[in-house]
Amino acid sequence: MVPTQVMDDGSAIHAMFAGQSHLIEPIRTVYGPKTKNKNLIGQPVRDFKTDAAQEERDEIRGLGKIPVLQHRLPELTHCFRTAIRRMEATEDGNVFTSPARSEVTAVSQEGDVWLRALVDRLPDDPALPPGDLKCTELSAAPGDWGRRLRTEYAFQDAFYRRVLRGAEGVKRPPMRFGVVELLPPHGVVVMAALPDLQSIAEAEVERAIQRWRKCMESGEWPCYPPFTAWIDAKPWQITEADDAALREEIINQAA
């Protein structure tokens, strides 16, 4: 996947949280004489529309660094500082502000199966949960992100904590997912899975590990079930179809 500017901005915020601001590299390309707006000649580019800017961006990525447009850097720094301030005032925000290690690779072994996880933030205090930081240019409202927590992040939580339990020898509390809005006023939300969702995710992780073990032993990797997948209509499709039929009936009666 080719990173977008939003992904680069999010990576820059991650780097600031991890104390790795040295990985952020401002774009130094300036507008040349061929630019339509002559007032911009010699000024730092504000997008990646020029070949020179694209080449510099790709070169920075090739060095394992994060390309950031110069005019975005003060905005991202302000976003980071605002997020830290909001985290400090948020319940469980200390997961992201207390002494911790960032981007920790945790490895554990269960019988003949090895497990590995890359943890965004692992507090030094083992009583604190691991943290995962998300950045978005959209809303961080729990109503919007709750679906992702149910379908994706709860599994991540269950798997990561299982790996950490094997690696550290302690059982950490459920992960806290911190969502930071990249756009002003840079809202922050911390989310976590409740026990019922944790139980579902833990069962999914157990099934996944058992299936992996079985496939490794047999050398066979089955894909999808061999029967036809019948797909039903969504309620909104049925409603729209009924509405369309009603409109057609009214038009015919008026004709």
The domain spanning residue 150 has which CATH number? 3.90.320.10
Mark whether 48 and 146 lie in a shared domain. Answer: no
Q: What is the spatial distance between Cα 193 and Cα 176, in angstroms, rounded to a whole number?
A: 8
Instruction: Please name which of 144, 13, 35 lies closest in space to residue 86, comparing C-alpha atoms.
Output: 13
Domain shared by 39 and 122, yes or no: no
**Per-residue confidence (pLDDT) for residue 40, from 0 to 100:** 77
CA distances from 119 to 14, 85, 103, 132, 200 (A): 12, 22, 5, 7, 21
Same domain, 123 and 214: yes
Q: From the CA atom positions of the chain, what is the Rg in Å?
A: 24
DSSP 202-247: HHHHHHHHHHHHHHHHH-----S-SS----PPPHHHHHHHHHHHHH
Q: Is residue 99 part of a domain?
A: no
In-domain check, residue 247: no
Cβ atoms of residues 106 and 117 within 8 Å: yes
Does 152 share its domain with 211? Answer: yes
Kindly state whether residues 109 and 32 are assigned to the same domain: no
Q: Is residue 52 located within the same domain as residue 121?
A: no
Whether 144 is covered by a domain: the verdict is: yes
State residue 136's pLDDT score: 93
Residue 155 falls within a domain, yes or no? yes
**Cβ atoms of residues 130 and 122 within 8 Å:** yes
Residue 183 placed within a domain: yes
Q: Could you tell me how many residues make up the chain?
A: 255
pLDDT in tens, the chain (255 residues): 667 888 889 999 999 999 999 999 999 999 888 887 777 788 899 989 888 999 999 999 999 999 999 999 999 999 999 999 999 999 999 999 999 999 999 999 999 999 999 999 999 999 999 999 999 999 999 988 889 999 999 999 999 999 999 999 999 999 999 999 999 999 999 999 999 999 999 999 999 999 999 999 999 998 888 899 999 999 999 999 999 999 998 888 887
Answer yes or no: do 206 and 113 share one domain: yes
Indicate whether 240 belongs to any domain: no
Summarised one tens digit per residue, pLDDT across range 69-108 is 999 999 999 999 999 999 999 999 999 999 999 999 999 9
Please give the tally of structural domains in the chain: 2
Write down the pLDDT at residue 33. Answer: 80
Q: What residue numbers bound the domain in which 38 lies?
A: 5-83
> Same domain, yes or no, for 62 and 158?
no
Answer yes or no: do 79 and 108 share one domain.
no
- Could you give the angle at the alpha carbon of 69 between the alpha carbons of 66 and 72, nearest 5°? 105
Q: Do residues 64 and 135 both lie within one domain?
A: no
Which pLDDT score is estimated for 187?
95
Same domain for 116 and 213, yes or no, is yes
In a domain, 132, yes or no: yes
Give domain status of residue 251, yes or no: no
Prediction pTM value: 0.83
Same domain assignment for residues 128 and 204: yes
